[in-house]
Structure 1
Amino acid sequence: MNILLTGGAGFIGRWVAKQLLADGHSVWALDDLSNGREQNIAEFREHPGFKAFIKGSILDESLMESLFHTHSFDICYHLGASINVQDSIDDPRTTFNNDTIGTFYIMEQCRKHNVKVVFMSTCMVYDRCIDEEGITEKHPIKPASPYAGAKIAAENMVLSYYFAYGLPTVVIRPFNTYGPFQKTGGEGGVVAIFVKNKIAGKDVNIYGEGTQTRDLLYVEDCARFVVEAGYSDKVNGHIVNAGLGRDISINELALLIVGDSSRIHHVEHIHPQSEIQKLLCNYAKANELLGWKPLVSLEEGIKRTEQWITSTDLI
């Protein structure tokens, strides 16, 4: 198939591209590089299925029109977005424009050209988990940040194109994803930051009390979920979660990674109002509709991430 991948030079986008190419598809990767990096996809440049990297924005309507008119896409995996919670609090306009208006521009082109849409949302739209059954797709939502609010608005628009036009669309909500190629600096995920500090011999800082929990999904498991959502008609018109099905407190995670409690410190939280105290995924729907389940344990995923960071120049 011919596939447009927005956010294709991003952390998860890079792994989705790898999976799509391995499956034999033709991939056009679009990214404005506000968060993604060209080196993430450097290894695909000579792959016969990798048709082009386009540096550009989903807010550029003329570019969108040209891409969709020139190439007969079968699926659009729409991962391009502003993803940082604190950035959305500091500058909600940019996040809203990218995540909501940009998604509208994508949807319009997909409607005109009858292209299936796999829309990457986030677990950050949910209210806190209240039991050990985990968060299903029917769990209450709570937009505790402009990022979450923008994603919810975009989700509803994506689903409206399914109901109003019969356009095949699916909203996917992966839980906290980590692994190789994730940034290890301030914009990175908690696992990448903790692992980098461990390797560099630095202490780790935890926002708040550290009792907040996260369900951490290894990036190759996430990419497999994203890709398979595009292949299946069973998920059209649905919202689908993906996660490990196990949560861990940030305190426990830090100790698991660093192994020395004296190197772990707590600092004042930068956005306590947008913190979700407990995130635990129930991925039964993904298993039922896609036959998907995570294959990489947290311990194995951390090991792979540490090996990757050690082998790069990110320290």
Structure 2
Amino acid sequence: MRILVTGGLGAVGAPLVRELRQRQHDVWVVDRVHSSGAQYLRCDIGYYRQIAQIFEDHAFDLVYHLAGEFGRKNGEDFYETLWHTNAVGTKNMLRSQEKHGFRMVFTSSSEVYGDWDGVMTEDVPVSQPIQQLNDYAISKWVNEMQIMNSAARFGTETVRVRLFNTYGPGEHYSDYRSVICKFIYHALHDMPYTVYLNHHRSSTYITDTVYTLANISEHFNSGEIYNIAGDEYHDIKTLSDMILHHLGKDDRLVEYVEQEAHNTRDKKSDNSKAKRDLGHRCTVSLEQGIPLTIQWQKETYQHG
């Protein structure tokens, strides 16, 4: 199968590309930085001319649309970029899909569940009176509505997946990255960080996320939505304690705060549909995944 991955140099995109190639697919990569490689295409999806040219020059059976701005804080500090890339960029992808007829997999976020305080089943955003809590979450729900609208009007075929706190090697640190990435980096470098005590997550190791994403190429159910989440439901302090334990450090640089405003408090996922349809599996526990992620950061940032 000929497959395009937008955001194919990213923390999820790069290992997904490797997994798909291991399965003998013909995989091409789109990202917005200059890079080398015969099957790499530089493109900013926020600009229709650039993405349209790719689909004029190349035909694809399936597109994994991962390109997008990530995270609540990033969405607040760089909201123009967030909305241009996420909303306009996804609209550009849909226009291309409507014209060329390829199937698409879209990576949404668990943030779309907003202030929902129950188990997160895929139907919640349309069946319950919830409210998304920040620009990033709103942009991802807008993307999902764009996709549903395109399917209803033009018959486009897309699978939506909602990723729950994917972590692991390959996620480079910035202040806008995921909680495990930031905690490890700050603890390694003796930098202070904040732990929000009343927040819970269902973290997913990168190889488990990528395995399930790749399975969609073989089990494509148009119009479906899937939660890709880990089985371990935990509080944020547990993550911090595990990281400090593996590094042999105490918590003197950790500030404990009850709750973070404008962020989903509890993400208890129901991942049964992904297990049933896509063979989703949770093979790497936090006790296994956190040391692997610590070791990758040590090697990447030449620490220790």
Give the aligned residue type for 1:310: K
d(CA) in 1 for partners of 2:60, 2:147: 17
The DSSP-based 3-state class of the residue aligned with 1:121 is: strand
- CA contact 2:244–2:251 (8 Å) conserved in 1: no
Could you tell me which of 172, 185, 196 is aligned with 1:196?
Answer: 185
Could you tell me which of 71, 78, 90 is aligned with 2:65?
Answer: 78
Pairing 1:281–2:269 present: yes
Pairing 1:136–2:121 present: yes
- CA contact 1:173–1:239 (8 Å) conserved in 2: yes
Give the aligned residue type for 1:263: R
- Identify the residue that residue 28 of structure 2 maps to in structure 1: 28
Give the aligned residue type for 1:195: I
Give the aligned residue type for 2:267: L
Pairing 1:222–2:209 present: yes
d(CA) in 2 for partners of 1:128, 1:280: 12
Give the aligned residue type for 1:97: H
d(CA) in 1 for partners of 2:260, 2:177: 18
* CA-to-aligned-CA distance 1:177-214 (integer Å, 9 cap, x gap): 100010223122221222233334x154115x432112
TM-superposed CA distance for 1:114, in Å, is: 0.8
The DSSP-based 3-state class of the residue aligned with 1:8 is: coil
RMSD: 2.2
Gaps of 5+ in 1: 46-50
The DSSP-based 3-state class of the residue aligned with 2:251 is: helix
* CA-to-aligned-CA distance 1:147-166 (integer Å, 9 cap, x gap): 11111111111122223332
Aligned length: 296
TM-score, normalised to structure 2, is 0.89
TM-superposed CA distance for 1:261, in Å, is: 4.4
Pairing 1:163–2:142 present: no
Could you tell me which of 97, 101, 104 is aligned with 2:91?
Answer: 104
d(CA) in 1 for partners of 2:67, 2:168: 19
- CA contact 1:194–1:204 (8 Å) conserved in 2: no
d(CA) in 2 for partners of 1:170, 1:129: 23
TM-superposed CA distance for 1:267, in Å, is: 6.4
d(CA) in 1 for partners of 2:256, 2:74: 19
Give the aligned residue type for 1:250: I
The DSSP-based 3-state class of the residue aligned with 1:231 is: coil
Give the aligned residue type for 2:156: L
d(CA) in 1 for partners of 2:85, 2:222: 24
The DSSP-based 3-state class of the residue aligned with 1:232 is: coil
d(CA) in 2 for partners of 1:87, 1:291: 33
d(CA) in 1 for partners of 2:64, 2:2: 11
- CA contact 2:121–2:269 (8 Å) conserved in 1: yes
- Identify the residue that residue 48 of structure 1 maps to in structure 2: none
Distance 1:314 1:222, change over 3 A: farther
Pairing 1:177–2:162 present: no
d(CA) in 1 for partners of 2:302, 2:170: 10
The DSSP-based 3-state class of the residue aligned with 1:273 is: coil
Percent of aligned pairs sharing the same letter: 26
d(CA) in 1 for partners of 2:48, 2:251: 52
Give the aligned residue type for 1:236: S
Q: Greater CA deviation, 256-265 or 186-195?
A: 256-265
TM-superposed CA distance for 1:219, in Å, is: 0.8
TM-superposed CA distance for 1:299, in Å, is: 1.1
